[in-house]
Amino acid sequence: MNICVVGTGYVGLVTGAVFADLGNEVLCVDNQPDKIAALQAGRMPIYEPGLEEMVARNVADGRLRFTTDLAAAVKRSHIVFITVATPAGSDGQTDLTAVEQVARGIGQAMERHTVIVNKSTVPVGTGEFVRDVIERHQAKPVPFDVVSNPEFLREGSAIEDTLRPDRIVIGAANQQVAMTLLELYAPLERPMIITDVPSAEMIKYASNAFLAAKISFVNAIANICEQAGADVGQVTKGMGLDARIGPAFLQAGLGFGGSCFPKDTESLVHTAAVLGYDFRLLKAVVVVNRERVALFVGTIRKTLDPLDDKILAVLGLAFKPNTDDIREAKSIEVIERLLALGARIRAYDPVAVANAKKVLPPTVIYCDSPYEAAAGADGLVLVTEWNEFKFLNLERVRGLMRRPVVFDGRNAWEPERMRRLGFEYYSIGRKPVSPA
């Protein structure tokens, strides 16, 4: 099939590369000439394991191309995927400006029946909105269908999630157009569910909101564990073995961040309010998540007070491992709060430093290794649980630090081991330990 993918962020670039790898002719479109030029030169705008190799392979085979010409791409395509950004406003309302601009361009360019697929995360009702925009801007009446096909990929494992998703959701107005998407996805041999368009749009928001609720729930439990002297790791292990609950998303830490969960929870709260429902449960999820960093930094402050001119080594800047994305990353809030208290920050991340430099204050010093960051530090703060950090030579780290105290925001290390190694150790939902 001839496919057009509009938007070359995480969703669009991975979607385009995977469809090309399945044998389709894919044209990826973006309105940023510099970004397209970089992709044409083989430079990736994001870090995602395996993506650069997949893109290079399909570009070399002629199945994947990049352009800024939306009209030309629409005219040659049977299916057009909309994968542009849908950020949240200050009130939680989803900003559909980019979706509207793409829909307008599709309407102006369309010359034959085309299937328009919303893959961006959008509130319920967006399918009708896109249909209306296209109809109002058509140069001549041309039949088309609007489909909802939400993505469920996770940054850091986006290719695996696209090739082997738990399910493929297709929201379509009729069986015939649904079959077009079924044919496209058939080579993946994964479970598919066909719904109406509004239900497909709701599935994405409901899924992300539920996972966010699990994260906030376990972090609230961690707060209680700290006060009661319980170990949240043992608690969640006992919970997760219940088949009705499961272990996924039950890791206590600094809360959820990134480009999806914060935005999607706020958007669903707003959508519910517009429809006349006060989603108090999800509001509480958001509140618990917002409290996490303040509680964590409070522990650091209490332990090292005063923080004036204290050197803190911060390990991890990306919002999660295996990505360079720092959108809604907890590192930003942690560092800004510590700087405001007078601390000096030495930071390290395997891949996210370049993006961090764009948003963090210029006083942050960036290091080439975790050991360089730890040298002379009055405390070490783990924010992102990269595997590299889990396998550090901790004896070497202790020897480099001025004061061997560790604040583990992701429970990456075992308290008893840290005690034996001579660390003063603070984690989430577990009792602090002092050196042996």
Active centre residues (catalytic): 260
CB 313 within 8 A of CB 380: yes
The DSSP secondary-structure symbol of 328 reads T
Contact 161, 10 (CB under 8 A): no
The CA distance from 84 to 97, in Å, is 10
Alpha carbon 176 to its chain centroid, in Å, reads 33
Angle of CA points 221, 226, 231, to nearest 5°: 75
The separation between CA 170 and the C-alpha centre of its own chain, rounded to angstroms, equals: 22
Give SS3 for 354: helix
Instruction: Using the structure block, give the residue that is written with the tokens 């942050």.
Output: 364
405 in helix, strand or coil? strand
Which residues neighbour 156 within 8 Å (Cβ) at sequence distance 6 or greater? 48, 49, 320, 321, 322, 323
Please report, in angstroms and rounded to a whole number, the separation of the first and last CA atoms in the chain.
Answer: 65
Angle between helices 126-137 and 97-109 (to 10 degrees): 40
